[in-house]
């Protein structure tokens, strides 16, 4: 059972191209990256790649199930290769850093709404908002310690 990028592209019905391989290469090293960062990194190995090619490649990869797209509120979309495992995300309100959270329940959707209002639900997307370790330290050092009012109102 082949698992090279070439094979995975082909079995998704996609042609194997240099732009696609370089974007996949970037995604393999960085998780939760935006299109612009991907373009910059991909240009190291394939200098002529255009921003629009990156958008196109990413759309193809997501459509083919090779990549996943997440859109944290107030930030450009992020892409990752971890796909099909229904995992969730921690997002830092301060620096935007994103960390993976394995879903304790496993299968999607991992939660069931109390009243689905007639909806057929196929996915439960969970985003945990907070402060990453680094930003907690930075706050304390700059005198923002103790109880700060954090944007967003409702506290878990």
Partner DNA sequence: CCCTTCTCTTGACTCAGTCAAGACAACCGG
Partner DNA sequence: CCGGTTGTCTTGACTGAGTCAAGAGAAGGG
Which spans of this chain sit near a copy of itself (rule: CB under 8 A)?
Answer: 65, 68, 70-71, 73-74, 77, 83-86, 88, 90, 92, 99-133, 136, 150, 152-156
Q: What single DSSP character describes residue 134?
A: H
Name the one residue in this structure whose structure tokens are 């439960």.
124
Q: Is 95 in the site for Zn ion (CB under 5 A)?
A: yes
Decide if 78 contacts 33 (C-beta within 8 A). yes
Nearer to DNA, 12 or 150 (CB): 12
Using CB under 5 A, which of 46, 94, 99, 136 touches Zn ion? 94
Q: Is the peptide bond before 109 cis (omega within 30 degrees of 0)?
A: yes
Distance CA 79, CA 26 (A): 10
Q: Which stretch binds DNA (CB under 7 A): 10-18, 24-32, 91-99, 103-111?
A: 10-18
Q: Which of 34, 103, 135, 139 binds Zn ion (CB under 5 A)?
A: 135
Size of interface with DNA, in residues (CB under 7 A): 26
Binds 34: which of a copy of itself, DNA, Zn ion, none (CB < 5-8 Å by kind): DNA
* Residue 131 near residue 92, CB atoms below 8 Å: yes
Which DSSP letter does residue 140 get?
Answer: H
The one among 10, 85, 101, 140 contacting DNA by CB under 7 A: 10
DSSP β-bridge partners for residue 18? none
Are the CB atoms for 70 and 89 separated by under 8 Å? yes
Site residues, DNA (CB under 7 A)? 9-10, 14-20, 34-36, 48-53, 55-57, 59-60, 71, 76-77
């Amino acid at each position: 059972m082949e698992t090279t990028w070439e094979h995975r592209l082909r079995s998704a019905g996609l042609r194997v191209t240099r732009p696609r391989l370089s974007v996949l290469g970037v995604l393999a090293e960085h998780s939760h990256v935006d299109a612009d960062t991907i373009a910059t990194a991909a240009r190291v190995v394939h200098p002529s790649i255009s921003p629009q090619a990156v958008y196109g490649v990413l759309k193809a990869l997501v459509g083919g199930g090779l990549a996943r797209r997440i859109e944290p509120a107030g930030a450009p979309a992020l892409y990752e290769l971890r796909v099909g495992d229904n995992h969730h995300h921690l997002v830092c309100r301060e620096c935007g850093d994103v960390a993976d959270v394995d879903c304790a329940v496993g299968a999607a959707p991992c939660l069931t709404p109390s009243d689905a209002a007639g909806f057929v639900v196929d996915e439960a997307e969970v985003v945990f908002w907070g402060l990453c370790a680094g930003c907690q330290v930075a706050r304390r050092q700059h005198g923002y310690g103790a109880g700060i009012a954090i944007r967003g109102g409702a506290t878990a």
